[in-house]
């Protein structure tokens, strides 16, 4: 047996936890007489290991009393922990046995639910399906919401763009009735287009002359309130 004084605090705590886990796993099966199910067989193996641990330190009577009336695990837990601290090999075996009991206990509880409540698998499947469908619905609904937001944003941008474009178009639409100040605010390309269009409407020959744009620009600069048509008409026979 190992000397408990040579074990680290972490190792001591681990064995203490193992003792608590062993009693928690076995106690629901006590008193255990004739094991029949896989879960009870696993519990019987665990009980024999615990009996051995108590016997090694001369406390088998204490365990026998507890096994008959398992009412207070905390009363025997320190004794089991002390026995396991002294026998690491037995502690390792006990750890595996506890895991086996816990695994089989889960299956036992599942089977008990089936007996008491019918087709648990079916209910679980339905529940899972409903949950899955609910999740899908939420995901689908979320996707629709995102798409709706995007569509609304696109529509808003579209109409805002149209409004802005309309204002820009209106501001850049220059005809014979437009003021010279508006004409001067346009780009040179827009000025040239507007000048030629108005010149053709007014029958101004030579409006395409390279001299026409500088002349009309000069005229409008001196008379910003004058209309473009009036400014161009002054140069009707000049180009």
Q: How confident is the model at residue 153 (pLDDT cuts 50, 70, 90)?
A: low
Mean pLDDT across 31-40: 86
Higher pLDDT, 11 or 119: 11
Per-residue pLDDT, averaged over 208-225, amounts to 85
Confidence check: pLDDT of 20 > 90: yes
Q: What is the average pLDDT value for the chain, to the nearest integer?
A: 76
Quote the pLDDT of residue 142.
52
Tens-place pLDDT, residues 97-112: 999 999 987 755 444 4
User: What's the pLDDT at 140?
Assistant: 38
Specify the pLDDT at position 164.
53
Weakest mean pLDDT among 82-86, 92-96, 133-137, 170-174: 133-137
Structure tokens at 151: 């569509």
Burial class (CB in 10 A: 0-12, 13-18, 19+), 139: exposed
DSSP-derived 3-state class of residue 177? coil
- Quote the crossing angle between the two packed helices 88-117 and 9-26, to the nearest 10°: 30
Query: What pLDDT is stored for residue 100 in this prediction?
Result: 93
Of the chain, the percentage scoring pLDDT greater than 90 comes to 29
Check whether 192 has a pLDDT greater than 80.
yes
CA distance to 111, 112, 175, per residue, from 116 (Å): 9, 6, 90
pLDDT in tens, 56-92: 988 888 898 888 888 888 888 999 999 998 899 999 9
Q: How confident is the model at residue 21 (pLDDT cuts 50, 70, 90)?
A: very high
Directed axis angle between helix 38-56 and helix 60-68, to 10°? 150
> In the prediction, which pLDDT does 169 show?
47
SS3 179: strand
Under DSSP, the state recorded for 6 is: G
Q: Are 231 and 223 in contact (CB under 8 A)?
A: yes
pLDDT value of residue 97: 92
The dihedral over CA atoms of 141, 147, 151, 153, expressed in degrees to the nearest 10, equals 100
The residue count for the chain:
239
Instruction: Give CA–CA dist 218/234, Å, rounded.
Output: 12
pLDDT value for 120 = 42
Torsion-angle region of 227 (φ positive above 0: left; ψ -120 to 50: alpha; else: beta): beta
pLDDT in the model for residue 132 = 44
Q: What are the residues whose beta carbons fall under 8 Å from the beta carbon of 29, sequence distance 6 or more?
A: 39, 40, 43, 47, 101
pLDDT value at position 104? Answer: 85
| Whole-number pLDDT of residue 172 | 57
Predicted local confidence at residue 131, as pLDDT = 47
Residue 173 is encoded by which pair of tokens?
């639409």
């Amino acid at each position: 047996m190992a000397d408990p004084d040579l074990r680290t605090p972490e190792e001591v705590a681990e064995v203490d936890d193992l003792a608590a886990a062993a009693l928690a796993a076995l106690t629901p099966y006590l008193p255990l007489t004739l094991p029949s199910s896989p879960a009870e067989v696993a519990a019987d193996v665990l009980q024999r290991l615990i009996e051995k641990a108590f016997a090694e330190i001369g406390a088998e009577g204490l365990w026998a009393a507890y096994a008959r009336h398992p009412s207070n695990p905390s009363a025997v837990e320190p004794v089991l922990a002390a026995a396991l601290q002294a026998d690491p090999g037995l502690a390792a075996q006990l750890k595996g046995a506890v895991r086996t009991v816990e695994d089989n206990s889960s299956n036992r509880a599942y089977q008990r639910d089936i007996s008491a409540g019918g087709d648990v698998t079916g209910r679980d499947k339905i529940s899972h399906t409903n949950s899955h469908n609910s999740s899908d619905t939420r995901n689908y609904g979320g996707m629709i919401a995102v798409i709706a937001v995007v569509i609304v944003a696109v529509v808003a941008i579209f109409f805002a763009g149209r409004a802005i474009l309309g204002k820009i178009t209106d501001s850049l639409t220059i005809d014979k009735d437009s003021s010279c100040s508006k004409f001067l605010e346009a780009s040179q390309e827009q000025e040239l287009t507007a000048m030629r269009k108005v010149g053709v409407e007014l029958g101004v020959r030579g409006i395409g002359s390279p001299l026409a744009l500088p002349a009309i620009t000069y005229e409008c600069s001196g008379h910003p309130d004058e209309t473009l048509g009036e400014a161009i008409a002054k140069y009707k026979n000049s180009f």
